[in-house]
Structure 1
């Protein structure tokens, strides 16, 4: 009888941990079901990337990691309380706390998973840093959701509400049926440590030197499939956790010292004979303009939202961008220009600052670059230019206004500054309103004061809203990306038709360039085709020319300065493509999630080198015509790899040292 009573007491002790077991099984079932549904939606990509057995097994391991974190937190916090569980009142509160915590976690899991399909369709990955960054802009985000993903928005809100209601009712019903148990303290002393150890092992998920992390589950060459193996709560938490490492985000690609990185950069062919006079600003050098002018030209950058090179073609035989097609024969047309990233702020930092991409947030958002960070506005403002940013939406979006005002832009024009605009959508006034404002500014400027203007369009942004009756629609319904591209091109054509007839045309240099492509996705480690963007420099005395070599967005700033006739100290390491006596670098760099791509033209074709986090670098032969990446089996050249790694690590070094800036001259 004593043995039987002891056994019953043990089982009654274990019964107190039933809520933990129920939570584990419910969470695992929920996360696994969601993963299988997503895998079914993208079954072709899963089939091509990994076996279903491995996919499911790795997914369960990833879920155990996340569930383990949610179990460990209360298990550690409530451990002191557990040793008093022989008291009935303590048992009641122990159980209540566990159940409430478990239900909160299940609701979080549900909300994140039900939010995933729409996010995945837009960004080709599970929720990451963008998921919480864009919560700061509810108007724009809600408009995008209601117009583009209304079904998922309704399902998400309704189902989450139902889950909360059902969970609450279940909690109340089970709480009323709770019975206290006879428990021995010695059993608790044995059970609690075992649970903690098992939970820690589930979180670690491996006996290897390092515990499991997202790189541990990155077993395919398709970044989207790798994200499916994880769960959305984990990917979001990992993104939040990584914020503290942003200053050193790209140091993960190599172990070169700061001095070796700087030395490697300075050995770049077009920088090799350059003097770098500042020890604390290691990339600052003097750039002599290739064109001599009695008065420097105005510079106008028209940053086109989401205008990938794939749109500068035809749709069913009908041209989507006839105006850009017409204009490209009148200036410098960049045939192989590539963006550095996949977000607008990444395009801004590359075009306006010439800054290389990183895994971290763009410098437009980072706190350490809101003052004393190089921009074209800063260098031109020091030379007497009036500098302005013109936008059709709210300039606070993506922290643009703060970044621009803090780094050389003397005025900012946004949606609130338009009187009686012809059209206002979710993302602000139409491109035609924007270009009317730009034209007005250029007409009314003082001819003796050179102007630098950045104009950023927004009509070609989901949900693709633009005025009725302006274009012949390419397809139905109206609000599609192809129609929005056609409208954006229409507005651009109208502007240049007026600009060519204006006095400012002859003393103004224009750059038309995309910030990035729309919806950058693909099965490859770096989907190169989706980084291909159009670029055109025209105006003033620019002679038509096609730049066929591979070019990066970071090359545009130094080239513009030179063509405008402005010599200055700059920290940019992009190439001034107007220097005819220097061989083109014929390369571009691009950041895709955690992968860093370096596309290099060579006698063997275009070679893509991809750096990965905690994995060896890989090389591919890229065929632009077929959009194919063929793995190269030969060993990477140490010299080439060192160059790529140095360029990948440099932006983190410059940001961390606050050294991407030209110090004021005394």
Structure 2
């Protein structure tokens, strides 16, 4: 390849970066075009394709500007005659690193979309913290994709490196006067590209959310920019909810706690604004034990009676023996989000779950906080390694005094990428519960399953497969259901059954996707309370995972101070309900079937969810200011409580 001398003279020390800019635009536009063709039906249905493609180039210029900003700031130190050799090789390395980032993340984008129905975002970063589990999953379930992605990245980088060897060799410094005249102008152009707007705030991914389809909005930008912005946003976790707007603290607290089930509550401690007396609806001489079975990725899409695929026959039988929630909704799309909702009764935010945040690793409320003070043995039982997603740290710092994970399990029969099979998990749980019963200790155990997790590994010969090949979500769910049924059947024969409350609930659905702005149908999950003297009942109103903790405490016969803001369904199981849902950067409050959806940097929208059709219909009329404020308060409250460290019992520091 011969570089035109006129270009060398024109661009001087910036020659490599001009070529990088053009290549980035070419690669990213090509990738976007391929993704648009792949998702053609949704792209065309969402809006004007030409406008979206042009906006995509704008987003690509932001990414390129961000990558160019560091070398441009270093240019006065290096891009002159005395150190130009250093500048050449630094620029060469920086260019290749940028291209490697672009190529690899874009190549891995289709698989990420298949799993999460959105471009790579903060999840892409979070999973990098657990290379053992992630690499094992990729190798077992996505080996061809992994090897193909690495091969494509390596091949393209090899070819581009050959190009840049010639470009690097021909780059020349400017004369000093030319450099100092040009450098401020180049810096200004790059700054303008990064800012991309003359508005008060610089552009961010929310600016490109111009359709009602979250996936299409993400396709407009590019994956490296999405990932880098997510990395930047993680520095602002404590105030993450303010992307939707702000309210004065007193107004926020008043609106956030304005629910019928909290009308009689007395919040007397301004340092603990949600702490109040919870009176159990069931009086017992001896409170019940509690076992929560948190089912990995068991959405309503797998439960026939909730409109899903019929792969949970055991759960279908069990639902006739207890309280069956017909409209239970998850608060998010990650396991740790389900944990914070079910175990802590904590509301969702755009930030990471509190399970992973630094200020909640101690003195943060969980059911273990209440029950450990009452003398319960509190445990977390998990088939994998409990350090994953920071679960061990969160639990041990917040009222859970025993961790039983894979290293503590004696001779598991089957171990996959994510740990022991659900049967092995339930064997360990049954042994632990029997020990506690024999020692006459009251107990609370959180049992977290993992067999229904990609790459869907489970023992052979246990179930009649729902479909071929073996390693599919439907087959994994059917196996998980089989293991659950065995465990409950065993527990019924034990002496502790009559003294123990069991909750079976999903953390979230398997894949959260769809053309709706918020895919409400993928937040719908099964939940069942049974055991002890619980009589069969159907709970019909909309319910949220955060409603489970206060309901469980009531059925156990436990009264006391708690910071829980959820609804106690043992006191009222017929009034209209509500659910809180965080989907990427969108927060939704659903009251019965009416939703108010908050969007960062954009006006809120109103929608109605049709349960039978599983369809969200956006309203042409914007929600009124009162409803928007009420919704905003729901997402500002948890950020406030976390930031102020005010979500705990009075006896906790």
Q: TM-score range by the shorter chain?
A: over 0.9
CA contact (8 A) 1:270 1:583 kept: no
- The answer to whether the Cα contact below 8 Å between 2:345 and 2:546 also exists between their aligned partners in 1 is yes
Measured in 1, the distance between the counterparts of 2:277 and 2:531 equals 26
Aligned with 1:424 (options 399, 415, 434): 415
Q: TM-score, normalised by structure 2?
A: 0.95
Q: Does 1:218 align with 2:215?
A: no
> Unaligned 5+ residue runs, structure 2?
none
Query: In structure 2, do the counterparts of structure 1 residues 417 and 81 end up closer, same or farther at CA, with 3 Å as the change threshold?
Result: closer
What is the TM-score when the length of structure 1 is the normalising length?
0.93
Cross-structure match for 1:4: none
Equivalenced residues, count: 648
Paired residue secondary structure (2:581): strand
> Aligned partners of 1:250, 1:553: CA distance in 2, in Å?
20
- The reply to whether residue 646 of structure 1 matches residue 633 of structure 2 is yes
Q: Deviations over 1:439-458 (max 9, x none)?
A: 12222224642110100001
1:51 is matched with which residue? 48
CA contact (8 A) 2:13 2:171 kept: no
Structure 2 residue 179 is matched with structure 1 residue 188:
yes
Does residue 319 (structure 1) correspond to residue 310 (structure 2)? The answer is: yes
Correspondence for 1:477: 469
SS of alignment partner, residue 619 of structure 1:
strand
Distance between the aligned counterparts of 1:434 and 1:520, measured in 2?
26
Return the offset for 1:15. Answer: 3.8
Conserved? CA contact 1:338–1:588, under 8 Å:
yes
Q: 2:453 is matched with which residue: 456, 461, 466?
A: 461
Matched, 1:612 2:599: yes
Q: Distance in 1 between matches of 2:393 and 2:237?
A: 19
Q: Distance in 2 between matches of 1:165 and 1:217?
A: 33
Helix, strand or coil: the match of 1:78? helix
Quick check: 1:162 aligned with 2:168?
no
Q: Does the alignment pair 1:79 with 2:71?
A: no
For 2:23 and 2:172, how far apart are their aligned partners in 1? Answer: 24
Corresponding position of 1:35: 32
User: Counterparts of 1:418 and 1:572 in 2: how far apart (Å)?
Assistant: 33
Q: Per-residue deviation at 1:376?
A: 0.3
Query: How far did residue 168 of structure 1 move?
Result: 4.1
Equivalent residue, structure 2, for 1:433: 424
The 5 Å alignment of 1:320-359 reads: 320-359=311-350
Give SS of 2:458's match: coil
Structure 1, residues 624-665: CA drift from partner, whole Å, max 9, x if none?
Answer: 100112222345243333221111110000000000101218
Rounded to whole Å, the distance in 1 between the matches of 2:38 and 2:434 is 53
Q: 1:400 to 1:616 in 2, by over 3 A?
A: same
Aligned counterpart, 2:649? 662
Tell me the distance in 2 between the aligned counterparts of 1:316 and 1:340.
Answer: 20
Per-residue deviation, 1:11: 7.6
Shift of 1:344: 0.3
1:222-237 pair list within 5 angstroms? 222-237=213-228
Instruction: Select 1:512's aligned residue among 496, 504, 511.
Output: 504
Q: Flag the 1:390–1:640 CA change in 2: closer, same or farther, 3 A.
A: same
Residues 259-285 of structure 1: CA deviation (Å, up to 9, x unaligned): 111122333211111111221010000
User: Which of 277, 280, 300 is 2:291 aligned to?
Assistant: 300
Partner of 1:364, secondary structure, is: coil
Q: Corresponding residue for 2:254?
A: 263
Partner SS for 1:444: helix
* Secondary structure class of the residue paired with 1:548: strand
Match of 2:515 among 518, 523, 538: 523
Q: Is the 8 A contact 2:437 2:496 kept in 1?
A: no
Q: Deviation per CA, 1:378-401, whole angstroms, max 9, x where unpaired? A: 111001111011011111110101
1:142-164: CA deviation from partner (whole Å, max 9, x where unpaired)? 22222332222111111222234
Q: What is the Cα deviation at residue 50 of structure 1?
A: 2.4
| Native 8 Å contact 2:140 2:417 kept in 1 | no
The separation in 2 between residues aligned to 1:9 and 1:306, in whole angstroms, is 59
| 1:315, distance to aligned residue in structure 2 (A) | 12
- Counterpart pick for 2:352 among 357, 361, 366: 361
Match of 2:22 among 20, 25, 28: 25
Instruction: Indicate whether 1:596 and 2:583 are aligned.
Output: no
CA distance in 1, matches of 2:7, 2:515: 52
Rounded Cα–Cα distance in structure 2 between residues aligned with 1:148 and 1:259: 50
Gaps of 5+ in 1: 1-7
Q: Is the 8 A contact 1:302 1:511 kept in 2?
A: yes
Distance, in Å, in 1 between the alignment partners of 2:222 and 2:555 is 50
Q: Is the 8 A contact 1:217 1:229 kept in 2?
A: yes
For 2:550 and 2:372, how far apart are their aligned partners in 1?
Answer: 15
CA displacement at 1:335 relative to structure 2: 0.3
